[in-house]
Amino acid sequence: MGTNKKLLRKLRQIPSPNNITMKELDRFLRSEGFTLQSQSGSHLNYKHDGLTYILTIVSHDMKQEVKVVYIKNVLTALDEISQ
């Protein structure tokens, strides 16, 4: 199974995981067609052609674990793209 499929399965776990680093999430988002539009301090703003909004994730360090609320936002964005 590919790395992206493994990470997507990990993202969709219930309860939502809290052990995904920003580095892992960034790599996954880029592989799914997201581009890092801008970064202002700790706010990373990702854009995707299939979304009408900018996906913002707050992370102070690429090695830091991403909060559950941002993982849920990523899953919502992925669901919207796949429709």
Q: Which residues pair with 55 in a beta bridge?
A: 46
pLDDT along the chain (83 residues), means of 10: 78 79 93 93 95 94 92 94 86
Structurally, the chain folds into a number of domains equal to: 1
Q: Please tell me the predicted confidence (pLDDT) of residue 3.
A: 77
- Give the strands of the sheet with 43-47, arranged side by side: 35-40, 43-47, 55-58
Q: What is the pLDDT of residue 5?
A: 84
Handedness of CA 71, 75, 23, 41 (dihedral sign): negative
Cβ partners under 8 Å of residue 72, min gap 6: 16
With 0.75 as the threshold, say if the pTM is over it: yes
CATH number at residue 13: 3.30.920.30
> Residue 39's domain spans which residues?
3-82
Give how far the C-alpha of residue 17 lies from the chain's centroid of Cα atoms, to the nearest Å: 12
